[in-house]
């Protein structure tokens, strides 16, 4: 039984002669290659920081901290202060977020709480379509169709708010020139369209982790859907939603081409939202082509500021989202 | 309604039952309204692009050279831009997708829950939020300054953009492959690389391809990374390794600021072409997902 | 504990003529020699005090309540525990005289000789043919003719050939539970292993499919050495030559439960004449 192997059977791997085969070279190489690919992410991020900072160094050196945040951006005097662009980025991003968050949340809640499964699919498709439209197409439509049309509406609103104490400064006619279709507000609107898919789909993911038991508990107490949402869903998901909004904010700040086409391309620190303005990625996009020397260095410096800001916002946002997910799982 | 009968018996005078119901209805209406607020501009954009673009689209348009901006709409076309988009996005895909898949393999199969893998995964997600213009500035600083403008530089910038997207979507697909499949392969005496390449990857392939197609659609539509890397010229350049090039988004951007109606019309035509390309990729991604899910069952 | 240790010592020496039923053949070659093995997952001691020998061309059953470590011990035979971070084997485990956990032993090589069938059938999402051919291909077999031969032979031995010979290109996932498990068995024996480990191979199957698997085990025994983990005592009596009974040592101080080998012997003896009171309680159904 032990020694004789029947004739039709091949010699089997019975003897323990070669249990000690070494790990094949291909297997080890593959592991190294996979690790290298993973590390590539870190390498690229570090290189981005290093090379752009290096190119921007002349500007940082010349202006120093105070110079960077000054208002003057003058090619002739070789003096480049970034305040107007930082201001423009902040304003347009804020408008975008303020406009987008209620709409995004509304859609997210619509999909998770209101709409039955069957009808959810087409709605999700529409949101995906919204996300797939390239930024340059938003910009083309924005500058050739939307801006001219909305200029008339701005003009009516502005004449309505003319002279009104606080709101007049926001929505009234600007100090110099007239209201323009390509302005801070238009950029904010177009950006809002573009960040809605992100905020709404991430919020949806967060809201979906709210346990059904909790929802049912609220309904069993006789709550209406709105009351259940306010009492159960929102408290559970609020930190996750905050994370989603931060990610949308980051996206709004970094969005370049649509902004470049509809923001008005005129650096100005003004409270009037219907006036033309500029923001960081827009000025880089529009002016990099002809820039050289310190001018180019300044534009790259703006890029560095943008990079640092978006990294910080993304780290914070992802951290917040992850912590809320972890708390959800633990709870 | 049960709530109403309960209310009537314990009459809470501070909040009439009707008001609660009304608030609920208003809330639902607001939610529907928010969806409509999104459909309307999307519809407008698509309708405008299709309307203005389709009148200029023709075989001639898709293959002719780019004329000077001042020429009216029935002259020239976007041939070089289409060629550039196909070549540059194609090269970026060839660079980024294999690297992204390998990175995701490291994260899910080798790195596991270790600190390095978690950090890399986190930073890959952070990287998806880096504005695309930064990728352009990066490649400009590290490549263009030394080697000049080229389609390759543009592909590198697009590749940097695609890499974290492919990593994240591939990772999610690999996670879905059940461990029992891996165990079955290990038990037959496979090495880890074999298990990953011959069992795990094929099992996740549909999802991986679908995610890659979506990344390609995203890259094809990007303008900012190409601004400082390919230098948007108007002449066709099939050699993507040397010399400036162009792409559909670049041309749309250039034509959007032109005062000439001819250039604007060509811009709409290019926009329609670009949207069609993006939609085709998106639909292909859905088909791949659906088809392979059917096979696997 | 004296009685327990006595039983363990009894296992180490061959059965005397008085203890053997007349029909007992002398145990054939020793395949596995396990001495004082304990298995840890990190700081958790999963199983302890395991000493036994597995003999060639026999079916050995591991029985016992859940958490008693029988699957852990089974998986240590083909070094599948290596896949769990922090897993460690103390003590000695020899396979045909060579240390299974020796420093230069390759787990991959071990698994080519010691195959495993899992509790829940796990066919690859590939065709039936590719499922069975996977192992030989991994071992370097490229010749189409040889592969065809191996696939047919393995499917025949797994009693599946007649049912699938006309649809070898269909997905392995399209098979029913019992067929899928026989496919996994065919896949395992396609690499011509020495030993086949089975972790509750029929627990996910209906009674008819279970019967087919048990018949298959009896046929395969003539060519392979089989160790099966089962929670079905009737199954153990139906198919196995020897049985090892595991139990749980609850340590109330540290609030841990560690598995331990209680008794090991010929199946008739374990079920009809158990030496340890715990074994007796289990096989007569008084204990889980």
DSSP chain B: -HHHHHHHHT--TTS-HHHHHHHHHHHHHHHHHHHHHHHHHHHHHHHHHHHHHHTT-SHHHHHSPPPPTTS-TTS---HHHHHHHHHHHHHHHHHHHHHHHHHHHIIIIIITT-HHHHHHHHHHHHHHTS-HHHHHHHHIIIIIHHH-SBHHHHHHHHHHHHHHHHHHHHHHHHHHS-HHHHHHHHHTT--HHHHIIIIIHHHHHHHHHHHHHHHHHHHHT--HHHHTTT---SS----TTSB----HHHHHHHHHT---HHHHHHHHHHHHHHHHHHHHHHHHHHHHHHHHHHHH-
Q: Is residue B198 within 8 angstroms of chain C, CB to CB?
A: yes
Greater confidence, B158 or A158?
B158
**B142 neighbourhood in chain A, CB within 8 Å:** 47, 51
Say if the Cβ atoms of B190 and C108 lie within 8 Å. Answer: yes
Greater confidence, A7 or A188?
A188
CA C111 to chain B, closest CA, distance in angstroms equals 5
Say if the Cβ atoms of A35 and B110 lie within 8 Å. Answer: yes
CA A244 to CA A240: how far, in whole Å? 6
Q: Are residues C245 and C50 in contact, defined by beta-carbon separation less than 8 angstroms? A: no
- Residue of C55, C79, C98, C136 best to disrupt the A interface, most CBs of A under 10 A: C98
The alpha carbon of residue B254 and the mean position of all alpha carbons in its chain are separated, in whole angstroms, by 22
Residue C286: pLDDT band by 50, 70, 90 thresholds? low
Look at residue A201 and tell me whether its pLDDT is greater than 80. yes
Say if the Cβ atoms of B188 and C138 lie within 8 Å. Answer: yes
Q: What is the percent of chain A with per-residue pLDDT over 90, rounded to a whole number?
A: 44
Which chain C residues touch A if contact means CB-CB below 8 Å? 28-29, 56-57, 95-98, 100, 102, 104-106, 108-110, 112-113, 191-194, 223
For position B293, what pLDDT does the model report? Answer: 66
Residues with Cβ < 8 Å from C270, sequence gap 6 or more?
Answer: C243, C245, C263, C264, C279, C283
Q: What is the 3-state secondary structure (H, E, C) of A240-308?
A: HHHHHHHHHHHHHHHCCHHHHHHCCCCCCCCCCCCCCCCCHHHHHHHHHHHCCHHHHHHHHHHHHHHHH
Look at residue A223 and tell me whether its pLDDT is greater than 70. yes
CA C155 to chain B, closest CA, distance in angstroms equals 16
**A284 neighbourhood in chain B, CB within 8 Å:** 133, 137
Average pLDDT over residues B231-245: 83
The two tokens of residue A198 are 């992100």
Average pLDDT over residues C232-255: 88
Q: What is the mean pLDDT of chain C?
A: 86
CA B191 to chain A, closest CA, distance in angstroms equals 7
Say if the Cβ atoms of C102 and A10 lie within 8 Å. Answer: no
Strands (E), C175-219: 195-199
Say if the Cβ atoms of C108 and A16 lie within 8 Å. Answer: no
CB-nearest partner of B142 from A51, A224, A254: A51
CA A322 to CA C113: how far, in whole Å? 44
CA C165 to CA C162: how far, in whole Å? 6
Say if the Cβ atoms of B227 and A289 lie within 8 Å. Answer: yes
The two tokens of residue C103 are 């420093």
CA C94 to CA C111: how far, in whole Å? 14
Q: What is the mean pLDDT of chain B?
A: 88
CA B45 to CA A142: how far, in whole Å? 9
Say if the Cβ atoms of C113 and A14 lie within 8 Å. Answer: yes
CB-nearest partner of C223 from A9, A13, A21: A9
CB-nearest partner of A20 from C104, C192, C194: C104
Look at residue A117 and tell me whether its pLDDT is greater than 90. no
Residue A22 neighbours by CB distance under 10 Å: 9
For position B171, what pLDDT does the model report? Answer: 95
- Residue of A4, A13, A22 best to disrupt the C interface, most CBs of C under 10 A: A13
> Which of residues 34 through 93 in chain A touch B, CB cutoff 8 A?
34-42, 44-45, 47-48, 51-52, 54-55
Say if the Cβ atoms of A21 and C109 lie within 8 Å. Answer: yes
**A265 neighbourhood in chain B, CB within 8 Å:** none
**C112 neighbourhood in chain A, CB within 8 Å:** 13
CB-nearest partner of B188 from C85, C115, C123: C115
Q: How far is CA A238 from CA A234, A311, C67, in A?
A: 5, 22, 41
Q: Model confidence over A17-38: pLDDT tens digits?
A: 567 777 788 899 999 999 999 9
Residue B7: pLDDT band by 50, 70, 90 thresholds? very low
Average pLDDT over residues C234-257: 88
CA B183 to chain A, closest CA, distance in angstroms equals 17
CA B210 to CA B283: how far, in whole Å? 10
Q: Model confidence over C74-127: pLDDT tens digits?
A: 999 999 998 888 899 999 999 998 899 988 888 888 998 999 999 989 999 889
Chain B residue whose CA is closest to C188: B188
pTM: 0.85
For position A15, what pLDDT does the model report? Answer: 44
CA B242 to CA B152: how far, in whole Å? 7
Residue B137: pLDDT band by 50, 70, 90 thresholds? very high
For position A51, what pLDDT does the model report? Answer: 94
Chain C residue whose CA is closest to A23: C106
Q: What is the percent of chain C with per-residue pLDDT over 90, rounded to a whole number?
A: 55
Average pLDDT over residues C264-272: 91
Q: How far is CA B88 from CA B83, B98, B219, B242, in A?
A: 8, 16, 10, 12
């Amino acid at each position: 039984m032990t020694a004789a192997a029947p004739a039709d059977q091949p010699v089997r791997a019975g003897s323990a002669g070669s249990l000690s085969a070494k790990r094949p070279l291909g297997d080890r190489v593959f592991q190294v290659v996979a690790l290298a690919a993973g590390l590539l992410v870190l390498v690229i991020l570090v290189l981005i920081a290093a090379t752009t900072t290096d190119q921007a160094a002349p500007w940082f050196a010349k202006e120093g901290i105070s110079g960077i945040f000054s208002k003057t951006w003058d090619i002739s005097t070789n003096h480049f202060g970034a305040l107007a662009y930082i201001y423009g980025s902040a304003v347009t991003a804020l408008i975008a977020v303020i406009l987008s968050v209620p709409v995004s949340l509304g859609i997210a809640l619509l999909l998770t709480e209101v709409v039955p499964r069957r009808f959810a699919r087409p709605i999700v498709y529409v949101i995906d379509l919204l996300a797939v439209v390239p930024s340059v197409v938003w910009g083309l439509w924005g500058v050739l169709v939307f801006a001219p049309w909305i200029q008339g509406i701005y003009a009516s609103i502005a004449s309505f708010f003319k002279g009104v104490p606080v709101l007049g400064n926001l929505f009234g006619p600007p100090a110099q020139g007239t209201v323009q279709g390509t302005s801070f507000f238009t950029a904010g609107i177009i950006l809002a369209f573009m960040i809605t898919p992100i905020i709404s789909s991430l919020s949806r993911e967060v809201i979906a982790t709210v346990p059904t038991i909790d929802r049912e508990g609220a309904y069993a107490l006789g709550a209406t859907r709105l009351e259940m949402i306010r009492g159960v869903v929102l408290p559970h998901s609020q930190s996750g939603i905050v994370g989603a909004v931060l990610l949308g904010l980051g996206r709004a700040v970094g969005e370049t081409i649509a902004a470049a086409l509809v923001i008005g391309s005129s650096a100005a620190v003004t409270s009037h939202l219907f006036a033309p303005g500029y923001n960081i990625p827009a000025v880089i996009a529009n002016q990099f082509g002809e820039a050289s020397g310190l001018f180019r260095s300044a534009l790259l410096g703006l890029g560095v500021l943008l990079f640092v800001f978006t990294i910080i916002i993304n780290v914070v946002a992802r951290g917040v989202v992850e912590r809320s997910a972890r708390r959800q799982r633990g709870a | 309604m049960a709530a109403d009968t309960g209310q009537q018996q314990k009459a809470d005078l501070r909040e009439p039952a009707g008001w609660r119901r009304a608030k609920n209805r208003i809330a639902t209406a607001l939610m529907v309204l928010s969806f409509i607020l999104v459909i309307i501009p999307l519809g407008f954009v698509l309708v405008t692009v299709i309307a203005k673009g389709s009148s200029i689209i023709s075989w001639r348009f898709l293959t002719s050279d780019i004329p000077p901006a001042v020429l009216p709409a029935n002259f020239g076309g976007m041939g070089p831009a289409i060629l550039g988009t196909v070549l540059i996005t194609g090269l970026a895909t060839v660079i980024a997708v294999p690297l992204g898949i390998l990175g995701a393999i490291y994260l899910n199969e080798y790195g596991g829950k270790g600190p390095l893998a978690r950090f890399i995964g986190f930073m890959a997600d952070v990287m998806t939020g880096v504005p695309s213009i930064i990728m352009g500035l990066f490649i400009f600083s590290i490549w263009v300054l030394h080697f000049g403008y080229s389609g390759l530089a543009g592909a590198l910038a697009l590749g940097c953009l695609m890499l974290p997207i492919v990593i994240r979507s591939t990772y999610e697909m690999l996670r879905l492959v059940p461990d029992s499949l891996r165990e079955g392969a290990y038990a037959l005496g496979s090495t880890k690389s074999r298990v990953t390449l011959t069992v795990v990857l094929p099992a996740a392939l549909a999802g991986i391809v679908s995610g890659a197609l979506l990344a390609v659609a995203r890259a094809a539509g990007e303008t900012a990374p190409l601004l400082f890397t390919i230098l948007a010229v108007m002449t066709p350049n099939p050699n993507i390794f040397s010399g400036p090039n162009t792409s559909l988004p670049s041309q749309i951007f250039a034509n959007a600021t032109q005062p000439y109606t001819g250039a604007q019309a060509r811009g709409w035509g290019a926009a329609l072409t670009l949207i069609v390309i993006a939609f085709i990729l998106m639909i292909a991604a859905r088909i791949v997902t659906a088809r392979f899910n059917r096979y696997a069952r | 504990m004296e009685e327990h240790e006595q039983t363990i010592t009894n296992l180490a020496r061959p059965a005397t003529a008085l203890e053997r039923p007349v029909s007992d053949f002398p145990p054939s070659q020793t395949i596995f020699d396990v001495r004082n093995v304990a298995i840890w997952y990190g700081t958790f001691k999963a199983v302890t005090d395991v000493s036994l020998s597995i003999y060639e061309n026999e079916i050995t059953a591991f029985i016992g309540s859940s958490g008693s470590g029988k699957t852990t011990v089974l998986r240590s035979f083909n070094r599948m525990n290596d896949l769990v971070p922090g897993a460690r084997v103390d003590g000695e485990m020899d396979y045909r005289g060579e240390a299974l956990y020796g420093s230069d032993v390759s787990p991959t090589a071990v698994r080519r000789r010691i195959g495993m069938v899992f509790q829940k059938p796990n066919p690859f999402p590939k065709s039936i043919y590719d499922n069975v051919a996977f192992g030989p291909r991994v071992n370097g077999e490229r010749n189409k003719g040889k592969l065809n031969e191996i696939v047919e032979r393995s499917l025949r031995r797994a009693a599946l050939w007649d049912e699938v010979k006309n649809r070898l290109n269909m997905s392995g996932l399209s098979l029913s539970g019992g067929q899928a498990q026989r496919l996994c068995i065919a896949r395992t024996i396609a690499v011509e292993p020495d030993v086949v480990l089975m972790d509750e191979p029929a627990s996910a199957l209906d009674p008819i499919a279970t019967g087919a698997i048990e018949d298959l085990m009896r046929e395969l025994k003539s060519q392979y050495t089989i160790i099966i983990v089962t929670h079905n005592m009737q199954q153990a009596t139906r198919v196995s030559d020897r049985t090892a009974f595991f139990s749980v040592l609850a340590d109330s101080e540290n609030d841990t439960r560690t598995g331990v080998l209680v008794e090991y012997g010929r199946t008739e003896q374990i079920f009809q004449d158990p030496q340890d009171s715990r074994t007796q309680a289990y096989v007569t159904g008084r204990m889980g």
